[in-house]
Chains A and B, each alone.
Chain A
Amino acid sequence: MLEIKALHASINGIEILKGLNLTVKPGEVHAIMGPNGAGKSTLASVLAGKEDYEITSGEIVFVGKDLLELSVEERAREGVFLAFQYPVEIPGVSNVNFLKTAMNEIREHRGLPALSAKEFLSLVKEKSALVELDASLASRAVNEGFSGGEKKRNEIFQMAMLEPKLAVLDETDSGLDIDALRIVAQGVNTLKTSDNATLVITHYQRLLDYIVPDYVHVLFDGKIVKTGGKELALELEEKGYDWIKS
């Protein structure tokens, strides 16, 4: 589904990713762990298509397409979903209106008819229940005045609505208490199918107690330096990142 080959990316002339390789198949959950500054969030931003980053070499193939040739919105329509580490507050744009526009643009891209108001609302009801998001939040402005936990749950709610092929969770656990963490993880697990894949980017092992990965990769200094099963996360937790560095 996703194949990243020898990817080099830099921002403001500073190289962050230095030859990253990663292969993700449908139905798999991959965790990317690593110390601060290793390039975890850069990888997430590059996948989503943030323009601040310059790809100096390498390639990303996503379901047979050259991802780097696609615009931000085209990637989303093809099925890439980034759950933001810091979801953006957008005053004046209602959550519902935003999601409806997004869904219909994605559906149009996939050759599906636009949803009726009724279909859309029943979907909102169903999916917001999944992450225990108060339905009243749906009518508020995007993320405006949401608590940290509400913002993260709103990300997973959007993911549930948009049904991506590849979900990239960028430090979704940061700033979450244990209850919110459980709810978010449960949402992600419910959405898992044999056709989609999840990339969990995290600093801590904690989230992986709830979202159990098939593979754990250690990202260090812009490269994946170690790959293992879920037990690698526990080993990292125990020994710390210094263990990798040495």
Chain B
Amino acid sequence: MSENLVAFEHQLGTTSLSMPELLTKEAKEGIARQASFPTTRDEPWKYTRLARVAGLTVAPIAFKGAPALLKGMETIDVIFEKGTWWCSAAVEGLTLQSANEISPESWQACTTKGHVQHLNTLTAQGGIGITIAAGTTIQQPVRIIHRCSGAQGAMVLHHQIKVEDRAHVRIELIFEGEAEQAYSNVLTDFFVGKEAQVHVDKWQNTQGAHYGFYNERIYQERQSTFRMQTITANTHFTRNDVEVFSQGEAAHTQLYGAFFGRGQQLIDNHTYVHHMAPHGTSDENYKGVLWDKATGVFNGKVKVYQDAQKINAYQSNKNLLLSSAASMNAKPELEIYADDVKCSHGSTTGQLDAQALFYLQARGISKAKATEMLVGAFCAEVFEAVHSEYIQTAIAEHLTL
């Protein structure tokens, strides 16, 4: 086996961020130890082949220096595009800084695990640091837009979002653009303080042969709430890893998702919720809709630690296959070390209800439109949880065939 991972890391260059030495060391050793990209024999990549990724020739897109100022926006926007980045002015209670300026100490709570995070730790070329001051409610949504475009670019970013105690914020993570033979690796760390509330709507709609790896790590304190909706539509290759460290008592986590695969697209959603403290709740609900020869993966892992009693963890993954050549791989994983917990999970994969389709068509509605209505109904719970108007509009456009 060639050392293709080492070679891949080399072409991404050296990070412009100041990471703690320990983390850098760990990542370096991790890459050296693995040497090559994981194969489908490695459990986390069982259904997702990385050969095409390993074969990419890419050049890093760096976001150095200060961002250009965006004016007159109703949202607080941060835009990463073609090596330039823009940013709205800060508002009261919210500060923005380049990830390049973040001190190593600020990353110390983080770990690095797996080749995607190792690569990010070693090669990230920018990112945004956002801090919401304690007790502040930010009215406008904060929108972080990633537009990877052109050919053979690598967008490796590391964001840090600190929501201090009792602060409230709504964030939109948007991944768009048209790119060929491109690589994205965006890691976002959320530090959610005591009683803080964070709502994230995530929209992935990248055109072209673009290989996207997206990691969100969420560190939740006591009685905090973190909600995230991940909507993936029309992406060639997407791997999402959402990992929640529910560290404080009675924290609530909601992870919802809907994904739409067509052609030969691959959408892989991995979630991992660590219930480390008592009285926590988590609610996961992912819906997949696959056409043509698309492939979907949902792997939802929940771990309840020994002292984390009275946990209520719920997980559901339902999928619709709209073609016989589409395939879905669903795998729930529960690891429970406490004895007084409630964990439930369920997964189903099926076809569109033929009776319902006939009923709609018998009233004059075209098969395509009827399918669209039934798919919309199937995903309604997830769509209703999306607060972002931008994403709501984008979903409606995407689903209108």
Please give the residue numbers on chain A whose beta carbons come within 8 Å of chain B beta carbons, in ascending order: 48-51, 71-73, 75-77, 81-82, 84, 87-88, 90-93, 97-99, 101-103, 105-106, 109, 141-142, 158, 162
Asked if B367 is at the interface of the complex by the 8 Å CB criterion, the answer is: yes
Known: A84-B359, A92-B378. A73 touches B373 (CB 8 A): no
Chain B interface mostly:
helix
Does A90 contact B374, Cβ atoms closer than 8 Å? yes
> When the two chains form their complex, are residues A88 and B359 in contact, meaning their CB atoms are under 8 A apart?
yes
CB of A71 within 8 A of CB of B361, answer yes
In angstroms, Cα B378 to Cα A191, docked, is 35
Q: Which of A87, A101, A158 has the most CB of B within 10 A?
A: A101
A48 to B364 CA separation, bound complex (whole angstroms): 11
Please judge, given known A-B contacts A90-B359, A90-B360, A98-B360, whether A71 and B378 are in contact too, CB under 8 Å. no
Most-contacted residue by chain A among B365, B369, B377 (CB, 10 A):
B365
CB <8 Å contact, A73 and B365: yes
Question: Nearest chain-B residue to A108 (Cβ)?
Answer: B364
Instruction: State in angstroms the CA–CA spacing of A234 and B374 once bound together.
Output: 44
CA distance A163 to B241 in the complex (A): 52
Q: CB < 8 Å: which of A72, A75, A101, A162 contacts B373?
A: A101
User: Is B355 engaged at the interface, CB distance under 8 Å to the other chain?
Assistant: yes
Nearest to A103 among chain B residues (CB) is: B364
Q: Is B40 an interface residue (CB 8 A)?
A: no
Measured CB to CB, the residues of B under 8 A from A are 353, 355-356, 358-367, 369-370, 373-374, 376-378, 380
Quick one: given A72-B358, A88-B356, A101-B369, are A93 and B374 in contact (CB under 8 Å)?
Answer: yes
Q: CB distance A76 to B362 under 8 Å?
A: yes
Please tell me if the beta carbons of B376 and A92 are within 8 angstroms of each other in the complex. Answer: yes
| A55 CB → nearest B CB, Å | 17
Residue of A51, A72, A102, A141 most packed against chain B (CB within 10 A):
A72
Q: Given A93-B373, A93-B377: A72 and B356 within 8 A (CB)?
A: no
- Nearest A residue (CB) for B375: A92
Q: How far is the CA of A162 from the CA of B362 in the complex (A)?
A: 11
Q: Which residues of A contact B369 (CB under 8 A)?
A: 101, 105
Residues A90 and B361 in contact in the complex (CB < 8 Å), given A101-B369, A101-B373:
no
In the complex, A103→B370 CA distance in Å? Answer: 13
Asked if A76 and B363 sit within 8 Å, CB to CB, the answer is yes
**Please, how many angstroms separate the alpha-carbon atoms of A80 and B361 in the complex?**
12
- A87 partner residues in chain B, CB cutoff 8 A: 359
Determine how close the nearest CB of chain A comes to the CB of B169; give it in whole angstroms.
30
Could you tell me the distance between the alpha carbons of A162 and B365 in the complex, rounded to whole angstroms? 12
Residues in A whose Cβ lies below 8 Å from that of B358? 48, 50-51, 72, 88
Select from chain B the residue with minimum beta-carbon distance to A101: B365
Are the CB atoms of A162 and B377 closer together than 8 Å? no
Residues of A within 8 A of B378 (CB): 92
The docked-state distance in angstroms from the alpha carbon of A82 to that of B360 is: 11
Residues of A within 8 A of B376 (CB): 92-93
Tell me the complex Cα distance, A103–B365, Å.
9
Q: Taking the nearest CB of chain B, how far is it from the CB of A109, in angstroms?
A: 7
List 8 additional A-B contacts (Cβ < 8 Å) besides A88-B358, A98-B360: A50-B358, A82-B362, A90-B360, A93-B373, A93-B377, A98-B365, A101-B373, A105-B365
- B363 close to A109 (CB less than 8 A): no
Partner of B377, one of A48, A49, A92, A158: A92
A42 vs chain B, min Cβ distance (A): 15
Q: Which residues of A contact B373 (CB under 8 A)?
A: 93, 97-98, 101
A115 to B220: give the CA distance in the assembly, Å: 50
A72, A92, A99, A109: the one within 8 Å of B361 (CB): A72
